[in-house]
């Protein structure tokens, strides 16, 4: 028998997670804070079960995280149990698909009190919207020559570890690759499923304003996900962020995975002008690639306040840190 602790060794045998105080500002001396507020599990299009994701996050030294599956909080309970066992703090969350000027936009909902009536009803609506959308995408993919598209995408979802969650575009992308209709995922999105292509069905998503309303009604903080990833000019991005704030949005992601530092600095100036809180996240989906929980560029130096200083989030992490 070896003394190396196995995965089933008692919690006390593990090195406790250090709850360093979270920085109040993104100063020059801060490298990556040990926090990641944007990740996916098999409850949406991620490749790890919620408890495995939390265990990996803890192994990588994160002390605070959020699980933000697309249009679902089905993984939160399992993730919370795992976070308690690992001694890390997990803020409930999700990533909502919404419409703005007929474009798909993603909103990260950080929910210190969990989902209440408003967001729960909203998530049921999103679930149905996704189901309807997946059949519509399947019909369109069959016209491209992918026979039994729905079943083939379902098979890909099952292979990635998903239960009976609604299908998402990556499931169809993998089915296209497997059938030889696309060479790789990138090409499947570029030619068939990405913005402006046949499989980009967005008619079912609610208006941004409506979805932000669900988050606010249940005491959450609405955060604009990856604002640099939409094909928008700086001016248009400003319009998006202003409309978002008018709807009740309070934060935006300053750091999303790995990104260019000059663009992040410019984004910080825009957040500062608008009075937004800044969030950070890896947008991790799958192990084995270049990303992992906590993988992201260091934030630029800015006086924009981190979202964990928000008066409805700070007490959540403080209470968790005090109880561990
Ligand atoms: P859906 O939520 O069904 O609209 O699917 C969107 C998801 O597809 C995103 O959250 C990404 O995980 C993934 N995705 C989007 N664009 C690409 C791309 N070009 N290559 C690979 N995955 C992508
Ligand atoms: Mn995704
Ligand atoms: Mn997204
Ligand atoms: Mn995401």
Tell me which residue has tokens 């909103």.
107
* Predicted local confidence at residue 161, as pLDDT: 95
Three-state secondary structure call for residue 207: strand
- pLDDT, mean of residues 294-313: 96
| Angle of helix 117-143 versus helix 208-217 axis, rounded to 10 | 150
- pLDDT, mean of residues 232-239: 97
CA distance 100 to 308: 27
- Give 6-56 pLDDT, tens digit per residue: 444 444 456 677 888 888 999 866 666 799 999 999 999 999 999 999 999
Which of 47, 130, 166, 169 to probe ligand 1 with, by most ligand atoms within 8 A of CB?
169
**Rounded to 5°, angle at Cα 299 from 297 and 300:** 120
* Predicted local confidence at residue 31, as pLDDT: 67
- pLDDT, mean of residues 54-64: 96
- Give 135-150 pLDDT, tens digit per residue: 999 999 999 999 999 9
Q: Is the CB of 170 under 6 A from ligand 1?
A: yes
Does the structure show a pLDDT above 50 at 1?
no
Specify the DSSP element, H or E, that contains 149.
helix 149-159
Ligand 2 mean position to 181 CA, how many Å? Answer: 21
CA distance 53 to 284: 10
Confidence tier at 111 by pLDDT (50, 70, 90) = very high
Q: Is the CB of 197 under 6 A from ligand 1?
A: no
Does the structure show a pLDDT above 70 at 2?
no
Atom of ligand 1 nearest to the CA of 133: 3
CA distance 78 to 100: 32
Atom of ligand 1 nearest to the CA of 104: 4
CA distance 314 to 302: 19
Ligand 3 mean position to 225 CA, how many Å? Answer: 6
Which of 45, 162, 170, 172 to probe ligand 1 with, by most ligand atoms within 8 A of CB?
170
- Give 274-284 pLDDT, tens digit per residue: 999 999 999 99
CA distance 207 to 122: 12
Half-sphere exposure of 201 (CA within 13 A, CB side): 19
**Rounded to 5°, angle at Cα 296 from 113 and 234:** 85
Of the candidates 188, 196, 143, 191, the one whose C-alpha atom is nearest the C-alpha of residue 168 is 188
Structure tokens at 103: 């474009």
- pTM confidence score: 0.94
Ligand 1 mean position to 8 CA, how many Å? Answer: 34
Tell me which residue has tokens 């825009």.
270
- Give 244-300 pLDDT, tens digit per residue: 999 999 999 999 999 999 999 999 999 999 999 999 999 999 998 889 999 999 999
Half-sphere exposure of 239 (CA within 13 A, CB side): 8
* Predicted local confidence at residue 30, as pLDDT: 63
CA distance 132 to 139: 11
Of the candidates 235, 233, 271, 274, the one whose C-alpha atom is nearest the C-alpha of residue 253 is 271
Q: Which ligand is nearest to the CA of 197?
A: 1
Ligand 1 atom 5, closest CA? 169
Confidence tier at 323 by pLDDT (50, 70, 90) = confident
Tell me which residue has tokens 């698909």.
97
Which of 131, 165, 168 to probe ligand 1 with, by most ligand atoms within 8 A of CB?
168
- Give 81-110 pLDDT, tens digit per residue: 999 999 999 999 999 999 999 899 999 999
Average pLDDT, the chain: 93
* Predicted local confidence at residue 90, as pLDDT: 98
- Cα distances from 237 to residues 32, 63, 231, 234, 266, in angstroms, run 26, 32, 9, 5, 12
Beta-strand ranges (E) seen in the chain are: 35-36, 64-67, 89-100, 103-110, 221-224, 251-256, 277-281
Tell me which residue has tokens 């009740």.
248
* Predicted local confidence at residue 290, as pLDDT: 85
CA distance 318 to 322: 6
Atom of ligand 1 nearest to the CA of 202: 4
- Cα distances from 31 to residues 66, 159, 276, 300, in angstroms, run 20, 37, 21, 10
Q: Please list the alpha-helical segments (H only) found in the chain.
A: 50-59, 76-86, 117-143, 149-159, 169-178, 185-188, 208-217, 234-247, 261-274, 314-323
Atom of ligand 1 nearest to the CA of 170: 8
């Amino acid at each position: 028998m070896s003394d190396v602790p196995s995965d089933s060794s008692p919690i006390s045998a593990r090195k406790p997670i250090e709850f360093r105080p979270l920085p109040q500002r993104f100063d020059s001396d801060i490298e990556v804070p040990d926090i990641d507020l944007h990740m996916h599990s098999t409850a949406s299009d991620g490749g790890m079960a919620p408890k495995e994701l939390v265990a990996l996050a803890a192994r990588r030294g994160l002390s605070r995280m959020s699980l933000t599956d697309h249009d679902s909080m089905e993984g939160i309970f399992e993730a919370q149990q795992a976070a308690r066992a690992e001694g890390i703090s997990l803020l409930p969350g999700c990533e909502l698909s919404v419409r703005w000027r007929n474009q798909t936009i993603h909103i990260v909902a950080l929910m210190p009190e969990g989902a209440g009536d408003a967001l729960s009803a909203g998530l049921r609506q999103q679930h149905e919207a996704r189901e309807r959308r997946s059949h519509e995408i399947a019909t369109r993919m069959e016209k491209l020559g992918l026979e039994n598209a729905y079943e083939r995408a379902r098979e890909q979802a099952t292979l990635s570890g998903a239960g009976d969650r609604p299908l998402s575009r990556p499931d169809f992308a993998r089915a296209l690759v497997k059938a030889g209709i696309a060479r790789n995922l990138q090409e499947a999105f570029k030619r068939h499923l990405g913005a402006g292509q046949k499989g980009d069905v967005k008619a079912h998503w609610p208006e941004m304003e409506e979805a932000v309303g669900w988050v606010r009604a249940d005491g959450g903080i609405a955060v604009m996900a990856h604002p640099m990833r939409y094909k928008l000019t700086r001016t248009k991005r400003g319009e998006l962020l202003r409309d978002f704030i008018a709807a009740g949005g309070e934060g935006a992601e300053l750091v999303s995975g790995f990104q260019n530092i000059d663009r992040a600095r410019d984004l910080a100036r825009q957040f500062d002008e608008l009075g937004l809180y800044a969030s950070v996240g890896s947008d991790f989906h799958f192990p084995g690639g270049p990303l992992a929980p906590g993988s992201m560029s260091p934030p630029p130096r800015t006086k924009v306040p981190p979202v964990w200083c928000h008066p409805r989030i700070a007490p959540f992490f403080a209470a968790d840190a005090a109880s561990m």
